[in-house]
Structure formats: structure tokens, C-alpha cells
Structure 1
């Protein structure tokens, strides 16, 4: 499978990147390409259209109900409902914590019924119960963040490109669920919104580069890709903190870059492709 960084800034969009949004794509055994989105934060909808046509979205997977991870779904609702050409496709399947329909409907002042049911097919995560979208199996794991139902997501791919696993932290502090989601992952896409020494008193909210690396180490992940870096953070510092702990490859998520997610030991090239 492939991971394309639509947006990777923490908490709100910055001049060069939307907030969290990640496009995951992969072919099934019949050669059909499937495209799923992990989160859809501030600014993501516009930039996403540089990468795919909106009609090609097969599903959206939401980690938690904070605006920097889901608010642009309100704009996607408009793109579907009011396109004068017609949408011409079924509602987009959407997996999320409970309450997302009410949350999004309130952004437009819509009544609960029909709300946005005509545009999205809403499903609620059940912890550690996998869901299937084409060649992807997605399993949510409860993590630690100040919102009712935060999840890390494990994406297992089995298709024409060969089996591989991507883990995505969502937003979280260090916890058992995060390590379980990332167990033996080929790539662990993990937030690092805080810095050691500056944010030590803030617990139960976000990770530092060091704590992200500790989770990657404890999970036995192959590669760590740091993301969700706020504009006031030094990416270099986050990387240096992670390098003190994790001995495997570490990178910083870059907007518009595409990363192959390959099973370790496959012998296939795995260089990122830039914009």
C-alpha cells in the first residue's frame, strides 16, 4: 500500500500544510485501486483534490472528534450534496467514534434527521473489532486523549502490492493501546506534538518525539514516521528526541509526499516520492 501525506500539522493548519489527513491507497487482487482517508482536519479538503478526485474516496476513517482531525468532513458534505452535476455514487462509508453525525450536522445547523445521512454512511468504531474496506482491514484501539472515544488505527493490507501494515496513532499520550496498535507495524505514523522538558507537566494529551519512539520500540515497529507537529515546534528537536530511543529508521512526515508501505524484508525499494 501507499501512504500520501495530505496534511500533517498539529492542532491547526499552517501555511504549507493542512491539519491531519492521510490518504492510504492500494490495489486489490483484481487490480482495482482502493483509497481510504485517515482523518480530515482543517484545510484538508482543498489539498486532497490535488491528489484524487473526491468521487474516488472509498471510505473515511476518523480517529477522534477534534476539529483538526475531522472538521473538513463538513465541507465534503457540501461537495457531495450540492454538486449541480450530481454525486452519482452511494454515500461515502465513514467509521468514527460515536457522535460524529451530530457533531458534523451542528456545523451546518442541520436537524438530526436527515442530517448528513444522505452524504455519509455512518458507522461507529467498536474497540478492537476490525472492519473491511477492499484490501484493507482496519482495527481501532482505544488510546489516551481528552475526548470521549480516541482511537489509534491499525491498517493491515493484503492485495496486489504484497501484505503490509501501517499503524496510525491519532492523538494520544503513551498507553498500552498505542503499543498494541503498532505491534510489528512496517510503518508507524505517530504524532509528536510535545517536546521533552517543555511539556512534561502535560500528560494524557500528546506524545513527545521520545515517547513516540518508546512506543515504536516497545511495539517492535520497523519504521517510525513522526507527524502532527505544531507550527511552534522544532521538527529537528522532535526527530532528535526520537533518535535517542528508537534504533530503526525515523522520518518526518512531509506534505504531498507518498511513502510505500512494504513488509520488512521484502527486498523492494521503499523511497518516498515527493511532490
Structure 2
């Protein structure tokens, strides 16, 4: 399994990165007895659709997984709708599965000024998350966990694959994605023993201490990773006014494992 950071800027696009979007790739069945690369997106925030096309063709998207319905995590689904509906050469890839909160189809249709019925349902196969219920898509097992963020539904997402190990025996790889969340049990459970924990750190210690239930600081992200036993921590969702090195230093106060800050365009193997 491979993670490619498309957008890592918090709350809105920055000068060097779109808002939240992460491309996850793993080999899986091609339907003809062989294998092919499967490609899913964790979130599709504003500004991400353009940068995504540096890495894959839009027809190669096998699914979109939305953590919640704030614009910096979902709004470029409107642009993807245009690509599916209005490509002059046609769209042969079929309806794209879109996992998300129950209101996803209505929210996206209204954002584009469409009647929710049928809205974008001719282009997207909308599938509602249920906390703790695992979904299967190609080689991926996808499990949402309810987290603490000021919106009706917000989820951290656990992505698992089973791949051949070096000795030929199957090995499970786990990527955990926080979405947007403050500290909570759901976040720890999503990241339990993960090979890589992609975790937001939108706040700074000392600057944002008066705000509860919205975002993590670097230190609180480190605490969540340590409590979960995550093997690696990748900090993301940093607004333009955050100092990435300060976030990393805060995280290091609570987490002793491998640690980095997400950068748009970089890939990480699991």
C-alpha cells in the first residue's frame, strides 16, 4: 500500500498545497483472474482535483472516502462531477463509489446548486458510513470511527490491506487517517497498531488552548499516536499560519517513533 499526499493544507488551500486529499494505492483483483492497481482518495478538499491529475487520470479513481462534509475535505467532488458528466469524450469508468456521512449526496448537490433528486447520483454511488462497520472495496478494508469535531458526522478512517510479505506469507498493512478531530477514543481505536497514522495537527500549544473539540495540536496528535501504538506518525492539515517544525517538536514531546510532516507531492510506502 502506498500513500501519496495530494493536499495537506488545513482549512483552506495554501500557496504550496491544496486542502485535504490523499491518494492510496494497492494492488487488487482485476476481475479477470489477475491484479491491477486500485486507487482510492481520502477526502477531496478544495484545490485538490487539479493536483491529483499530476499523479493519476481521473478515470482511475476507484473510490472517494470522505471523513466529513466541511469544504476543505469534500468540495472538489463538485469538480469531479463535472469531469464525469461533461467530458466531451465521454466517461467510461462508471459511477464512482463515494463513502461519507449520510447527508453527502444532498450536501454536494446543494453546493452545486442542484436539486438533490437526482443530484449527482447518476455520477456517484453514494454509500453512507456507519461507525465501526467495515466496508470492502477492491483490496481495501475500510472502517470509519466517529471522532470529535463540530459537525453532525465526522470520522477517522482505518484502511487495511493484506499483501504478500517478504517470506511470501500474507501481511496486513494499516493506514489510519484522523480526518479532523480533537482527542477522543474513536481516534485511538482507528489508529490502533497502525503502520502509519496520518493525523491532523491544526493547532499550536499555548495559542489555541481555549478551543476544545475541534482540532489537535502537535502534542495532542503525538499523544493519540502513542496511546494507539502507531508505528509512524505523519502530521497533516497544517494551516498556512502554522509552523511545521513547531508542530513536529510538539508531537515529539509525546511520541518517540518515526515522525514527519506531510508535504504535497510526496509518497510513503507501508
Class of the TM-score when normalised by the shorter of the 2 chains: over 0.9
Structure-1 residue corresponding to 2:251: 242
Secondary structure in 2 matching 1:215: helix
> In the alignment, which of 91, 98, 101 is matched to residue 87 of structure 1?
91
Please say which of residues 98-107 and 217-226 is displaced more in the overlay.
98-107
Distance in structure 2 (CA, Å) of the matches to 1:164 and 1:100: 28
| 2:21 pairs with 1:18 | no
| 2:264 pairs with 1:255 | yes
Secondary structure in 1 matching 2:93: coil
Per-residue Cα deviation, 1:49-98 (whole angstroms, up to 9, x for no partner): 00000000000000000000000000100010001111012110000001
Count of matched residue pairs: 261
Cα contact 2:148–2:214 (8 A) shared by 1 = yes
| 2:201 pairs with 1:192 | yes
| 2:222 pairs with 1:213 | yes
Give the 5 Å matches for 1:1-275: 1-28=1-28, 30-160=34-164, 162-261=171-270
Cα contact 1:59–1:93 (8 A) shared by 2 = yes
Cα offset, 1:148, TM superposition: 0.3
Distance in structure 2 (CA, Å) of the matches to 1:61 and 1:93: 8
Cα contact 1:31–1:160 (8 A) shared by 2 = no
Cα offset, 1:100, TM superposition: 0.9
Per-residue Cα deviation, 1:100-157 (whole angstroms, up to 9, x for no partner): 1111111221112211011100000011000011111000000000000000000011
Secondary structure in 1 matching 2:98: strand
Distance in structure 2 (CA, Å) of the matches to 1:198 and 1:181: 27
Secondary structure in 2 matching 1:256: coil
Distance in structure 1 (CA, Å) of the matches to 2:112 and 2:154: 24
TM-score by length of 1: 0.93
RMSD across aligned positions (CA): 1.0
Cα contact 1:28–1:158 (8 A) shared by 2 = no
Structure 2: 5+ residue stretches without partners: 166-170
Secondary structure in 2 matching 1:222: coil
Per-residue Cα deviation, 1:186-234 (whole angstroms, up to 9, x for no partner): 0000000000000001010000000000000000000000000000000
Cα offset, 1:160, TM superposition: 4.9
Greater fraction strand: 2
Distance in structure 1 (CA, Å) of the matches to 2:205 and 2:92: 50
Distance in structure 2 (CA, Å) of the matches to 1:107 and 1:151: 21
Cα offset, 1:28, TM superposition: 2.0
Secondary structure in 1 matching 2:189: helix
